[in-house]
A and B are shown apart, each in its own frame.
Chain A
């Protein structure tokens, strides 16, 4: 990013004639927007984390300053303690971790064999079937919540984490199957044929050869579903009513009104941070995989 960096990279490609295309107004405008945009994102992140340690007065009167008051009072984690204990984010955190882990694992468990069947078994009609499932990605959840709610309530699975688990798994299938068909299709036939010649049964070929080969795709699918479900709000609002079952996003949604009413802004922002921080950590570790995974379907 420094001048020295640019100098070092220069020999790779021939430099254009001095000034040619470099300083066009559009480019300068673009540069300004890009840098402004990037700076704004970093500022948002700073504001969020700083504010989660502040008192309401500090949040509103010194939005860009570092937190001071709670540190002076010797209770730096006061907002987090409030959100965690009083507002139910502690329970919600555990619920969310378990629900998201179980759902993501189940989604991949169901989708991987389906994607394999649709791409590598050479059955006629696989193409149209794949498209039929992929079309499901375009269906807004609003279109299905009413019948799903009625159906699940007749079998007493509303306001139930198992009911929400079923909904999460089923509604994530179109995206996951579509993503994984891309991965399975990109595998070469040779390994599969070699396994067949060595006498491995088709089932064994799938588990011992194809699944390990598609491991990257399976992990990507697992992570993307985990992020999506961690952040999911609409279905959680519809299918969970009692606080004991709330997920983090659901708890935050409910806490918002109460926090405004009680001026409990510190606790509210701490709640936002509790929801955002795990995803941020995941993102810092796995940014490349998350980005390529999420943009994969569109590029090819």
Chain B
């Protein structure tokens, strides 16, 4: 989307230049004088609160610093090496990759399945509205709901239903199970968003393509494979990028579901987002701003790598229809 966005703006700039005749030229010059006053407030806030802090985090990641009262000491890559060797970081990294990859596959498979059905389903618009609903609910509230659903003793709603079916209670939120449980919760909570994005693209496909395929006797899978997927490919790519960005920073859902709530959960359930938080603002022990910054750098590096890889993988010639 970024490269597409650039095109019209540059064309406008080129087209505006060669015609400085009469009043329209003078107007153009006066118009351009607005550029910096209009852009400056947003740009300054952006640079001060987002660009500069990102750079500072990068610098801090090479230091050892316990926060207020301590002075940062430059340690080079020692902090990174220590972090990569620690169990808490390793499980945070593995869990985060699980959320991105396993959760992503689950969400997109579900979304694809839904596109096959929702396109010509009566009442489909209403169904879509209901499916989208979890996206306007605070993750922290969703997490509370899931904590009631998955309580480990027979108090939990899921175990209540399982008990009714004569099945022994499952410890959904035990450290060894919680990642899978949260992946399920995450897929449930986010699939509505991706279904909506994909369906917006599917709705733009001319219906006669599907009608022709139906007359030819194509199955639902064949229609998906030959029409839906190729014609929504670009949107699938953008949705994949959005998924990666969002799943990599997962925090509240895991923090509340895996732990006692106010304090950090056991390290086996950590994500990178929890690692950063625990090492900087978590309530236990002295803060380790250097280590937290190093993990934050890993987060932004992973985001960049995934986004670039996805765009590379999804690249192909545009299909006009």
Chain A residues within 8 Å of B, Cβ to Cβ: 1, 5-6, 9, 13-14, 16-17, 20-21, 24, 26-27, 29-31, 33-34, 37-38, 40-42, 44-45, 47-48, 51, 59-60, 63, 110-111, 113-114, 116-131, 133-151, 153, 166-167, 169-171, 173-174, 177-178, 181, 185, 196-197, 201-203, 206, 227, 230-234, 237-238, 249, 252-254, 256-257, 260, 265, 268-269, 272, 275-276, 279-280, 282-283, 287, 290-292, 294-295, 297-300
Given contacts A138-B303, A298-B197, are A174 and B6 in contact (CB under 8 A)?
no
The number of inter-chain residue pairs (CB within 8 angstroms) is 344
Give 6 closest A-B pairs by Cβ, nearest first: A170-B49, A127-B6, A231-B138, A114-B42, A122-B16, A117-B38
Do the beta carbons of A63 and B121 come within 8 Å of each other?
no
Bound CA–CA A38/B114 (angstroms) = 11
| Nearest B residue to A265, CB-CB | B148
A-contact bits for B123-145, CB 8 A (1 contact / 0 none): 10011111111111111110011
Q: Check B220 against A149 for contact (C-beta < 8 Å).
A: no
Q: Are B289 and A253 in contact (CB under 8 A)?
A: no
Q: Is there contact, CB below 8 Å, between A146 and B57?
A: yes
Which B residues fall within an 8 A CB radius of A? 1-10, 12-13, 15-17, 23-24, 27-28, 30-39, 41-43, 45-46, 48-54, 56-57, 60, 67-68, 110, 113-114, 116-118, 121-123, 126-141, 144-145, 147-148, 155, 157, 160, 188, 191, 193, 196-197, 200-201, 207, 211, 213-215, 217-221, 223, 235, 238-239, 242, 245, 248-249, 251-252, 256, 260-263, 272-273, 276-277, 280-281, 289, 292-293, 295-297, 299-300, 303-304, 307
Of the candidates A114, A122, A178, A276, the one whose C-beta lies within 8 Å of that of B31 is A122
Asked, given contacts A38-B127, A181-B5, A234-B252, whether A20 binds B116 with beta carbons under 8 Å apart, the answer is: no
| Secondary structure dominating the interface of B | helix
- For B211, what are the chain A residues with a Cβ–Cβ distance below 8 Å? 13-14, 16
A24 touches B144 (CB 8 A): no
Question: Are A37's CB and B131's CB within 8 A?
Answer: yes
Shortest distance in angstroms between B21's beta carbon and chain A's nearest beta carbon? Answer: 14
Please indicate the chain A residues that have their CB under 8 angstroms from the CB of B57 in the complex: 143-144, 146-147
